[in-house]
A and B are shown apart, each in its own frame.
Chain A
Amino acid sequence: MSIKEQTISEFNATAVEMNNIQVAFDNTNVLNKLNFSLPAGEILCLLGPSGCGKTTALKTIAGLITPLQGEIDLFGRSVFFNSNSATEKVTNIPPQQRGVGFIFQDYALFPHMTVSQNIAYGLPDLNKEERKQRIEESLQLVELLDMQQRYPHELSGGQQQRIAVARALAPKPQLLLMDEPFSNVDGQVKRRMMADLRRLLKDHNISCIFVTHAKEEAFAFADKTAVMVAGEIAQLDKPAVVYNQPKSCAVANFMESGNIASLRNSQKILDRIDHHWHKDFESSGYWLFKPQHLSLNKSLQNTGITLIDTTYIGRGYQYELSVQPDKYNPASTIIWKAESEQALNINIGDNLAIEYLASPHWLQE
């Protein structure tokens, strides 16, 4: 049975279901009641700043870290269950029996083994002929069939990553987990690798969870993105939704979605901005103003908004503004960013009048 045939049978199932997973190191919670599910065949990106618990979440799914409590199901099969109740039995399937493939950040290729020995390591149950065939099949997937006798140090970074993929996929895992798989490669090679791997996963309908702190990787590679903050999932949705409609300040901040202003500041700032939407300040929260929707014009009056820097960013220009909502309180000054495709006729130190050309996004806190 080829990898494709085998994985297709899991189509439409739920690949991963995590409920109330709690992990602590030295009495400090790293994962705090983590909940999410991933439909089979989808690629999920766990995105978040360093130390938010994303790698811990990945290793917990693999079984390399044991949670204090919670429930993990893989393709409908319970691999971990602990409710911390004396009456309910604890389930903890060891990593070897969970049927997951794992690609480590440093690839973890065994340095003293050739490429084919590395792949064969995970196929102890096959006979010699079957093993040889499976190795070739896996190497064909990553287009490195002629590298069988090479040692890891004889391969480039990109080739090592592909061998790690081949090794992880050779035992036909139901789920592929990847820990920052693209962090060791840059530029063109990275883009090509992401495209190739995504095509491979999609062609064979392999479910995948990968961890990164670079949102560009989530945009390019994932079907869904879960932004993790302090051991919890702050938002899980399509990458474009997470970027354009973040649910909280933490998500908006991490995704660099735009300028955030508190209700109090917004009110004062909005007094200085021409706007076209219905203001509603009854509820609490924050406004998110997208840089690309801010229009800037030089003003002869003291608006409390000053241009402090201009940067060329390739697709246009980015302007950094000092916005002082309360002229009696200089400490209230905040920095906003605006973007324009064309260079504007404004100079550093100029007073600016701002117009917001869209409706700002409302963030609940």
Chain B
Amino acid sequence: MNNRFKALPQISATAVSLTTALISFIILLPVAALIHQSIVEYLPFSQHVIDDTFSGIVDTVLSDYISNSLLVVSGSLIFACIFAIAPAWWCAHYEFKGRKYLQWLMIFPLAIPAYISAYIYTDMLDYAGPIQSSLRLVFQWQGPQDYWFPDIRNIWGASLMLGLALYPYIFLLLRNAFEQRSQSLTQAAQLMGASERKIFWTIHLPIARPALAIGCTLVAMESLADYGTVQLFAISTLTTAIYDSWLVYGSLSSAAKISCLTLLFVLTLIGLEKNSRKKQQNFDSRSAKPFPKVYANKTKTAFIWLFCSTVIALGFAIPLITLISYCIDYWVENINGDILTHSKSTFILAAIAASIACLLALLLNSQQRFNPSKSNQAKLSLSSLGYAIPGTVLAIGILIPFTQLDIWLNTFIQSLGYEKVGLIFSGTTFALILAFVIRFSAISNGNIQAAYKQMPPNLDDASTLLKAGRLKTFRKIHLPIMTPAIVSAFLLVFIEVVKELPASLLLRPFNFETLATYVYQFASDEQLEHAASGALLIIVVSLLPILLLSRSQKMH
């Protein structure tokens, strides 16, 4: 009944339906492979030998992996909330000099990958680094026994680095929620004698709770999935354990089991967030009128600027300036041909992955638009699931089935009397592109879904009544209206691919580097100075969505 234009000739409807079903299958495949690999050896009649690497890990270090992961996640959340909540409120509630610039500058740290900051601060705060050296010079201290200096190569240091890189998620969502707060609720509270502080704690913050929950979930998921920072600080977490199980112990089975455990944590996080969102509608009391901002006095303005600029300096300016100075100091190493080669291959890879992700999003969303059904909606939701899977977990999930596929293919080709073709699925950029598409389809889907939601369904009906078929409606109405959304979806996926590290580290073919793996390799060899230009390139590319976002908000 709800089937729009049911009577139209179903132009290759079956083909579209089959394609979308195939997409859903491929997206589900890694998770299914992980579960299968984790339990296959215990199945009756299984020919797999029971791998005791995992039981060894369980007996010795698994509890450390779990507790370290939970500590890093909690620490990152604490730091992110400290850096984000108050500034979000100030930027939404007060009017002060430079507020418009400050609220954009506060998002800039999102462009700096946490492992780059981690490297820079380790270098800076090290015994031989500029800070300790200057202190020794000023106070005439002779050696480390003469003074105490904090060490950041620990869980709290990693949490601080992740908190600095991820707090903008909470800041953005919360500022938006605060901006939309209801004027009448505030006035009602004021008339009942509540102070500004009480109104914030009892009215505004509880109403913004869903936004805070989404922001915190994003920060928690990103910090749980982090590989670069914790590995640099030598903290063993679930992600580093997956990496080590596979690359150090060569045990795919224990990598799969730890991956399943990590997925369980992710699912719990999503469950908690969904639960908190249940009440969102009750709390949704947006004001139609923009809330007039309160003018901050000079002292308050100075305090706001001091706090925020410290955060921006720590999260953005100091790492950026340091990278620029590395670049200048090690100019020759930084302009070598490797950077150009890796940038080119990264950008090509990112463009391919982003194009595929956008095409899939268009296919799935247009199918749901023309044929709204529960199964099409399920395919759409399924294709967005990948974002929740940490890169390392996803990489293992892809390696398992595609390595097997390669083995089967080579055996088959050999049986025909031909030479082996090699690992064409798991050992080429195919696996990388697949991982990127699965992981970042949620972004392209989200953008295109939002664009479709904004497009009144009456436009489709009008087009049909004006004698247009589905294809013409899609080509002449949907595509032109959605062009900005498609462009931004492409750019966002492109940027995420350029920044992606953990899956790239595990899935890159032999002798192939992306910008992120190239930079990370230098960082882990304590030679980031030589790849500073690559790091700067990642940052510049990552700043693009922030500039796009600021432009689109200005347009609104």
Contact = CB atoms under 8 A, between A and B. Distances in A.
A249 B54 CA distance: 77
A267 B333 CA distance: 104
Interface string A98-110: 0011101110101
A63 B467 CA distance: 12
A121 B461 contact: no
A104 B462 contact: yes
Interface stretch (A87-95, A270-278, A290-298): A87-95
B459 A25 contact: no
A94 B480 contact: no
A55 to B, nearest CB: 11
Interface in A93-135: 93-96, 100-102, 104-106, 108, 110-112, 121-122, 124
A130 to B, nearest CB: 15
Given A121-B468, A124-B467, A171-B467, A94 B462 contact: no
Contact of B456 (A63, A100, A106, A124): A106
Contacts of B43: none
A358 interface: no
A180 B224 CA distance: 53
Contacts of A62: 461, 465
A24 interface: yes
B1 A121 contact: no
Interface string B1-18: 111111110000000000
Interface in A16-33: 23-25
A189 interface: no
Main secondary structure of the interface of B (DSSP, over half): loop
B456 A108 contact: yes
A25 B372 CA distance: 13
Contact of B461 (A93, A94, A104, A167): A104
Interface string B189-206: 000000000000000000
B476 A66 contact: no
Nearest to B467: A96
B47 interface: no
A94 B7 contact: yes
Contacts of B463: 110, 121
Given A100-B465, A102-B462, A108-B462, A66 B456 contact: no
A121 B476 contact: yes
Interface residues of A, number: 30
A96 B477 CA distance: 16
A167 B458 CA distance: 14
A24 B1 contact: yes
Main secondary structure of the interface of A (DSSP, over half): loop
B465 A95 contact: yes
Interface string A336-359: 000000000000000000000000
B458 A110 contact: no
A94 B7 CA distance: 5
Given A24-B1, A94-B8, A110 B464 contact: no
A200 interface: no
A359 B7 CA distance: 53
Contacts of A122: 465-467
A92 B3 CA distance: 14
Contacts of A94: 5, 7-8, 464
B481 interface: yes
Contacts of A100: 465
Contacts of A96: 8, 464-469
A65 B467 contact: no
A5 B468 CA distance: 26
B456 to A, nearest CB: 6
Contacts of A171: 466-467
A101 B481 CA distance: 23
A155 interface: no
Contact of B465 (A101, A105, A124): A101
Interface string A62-99: 11111010000000000000000000000011111000
A307 B467 CA distance: 60
Given A96-B468, A100-B465, A121-B476, A108 B459 contact: yes
Given A63-B7, A93-B7, A108-B458, A25 B2 contact: yes
A154 B476 CA distance: 21
A45 B289 CA distance: 36
B185 to A, nearest CB: 28
Contacts of A93: 7
Nearest to A24: B1
21 contacts: A62-B461, A63-B7, A64-B5, A64-B464, A66-B1, A66-B3, A92-B7, A94-B5, A95-B7, A95-B461, A100-B465, A102-B465, A106-B458, A110-B459, A110-B477, A111-B481, A112-B480, A121-B466, A122-B466, A122-B467, A124-B467
Interface of A: 23-25, 59, 62-66, 68, 92-96, 100-102, 104-106, 108, 110-112, 121-122, 124, 167, 171
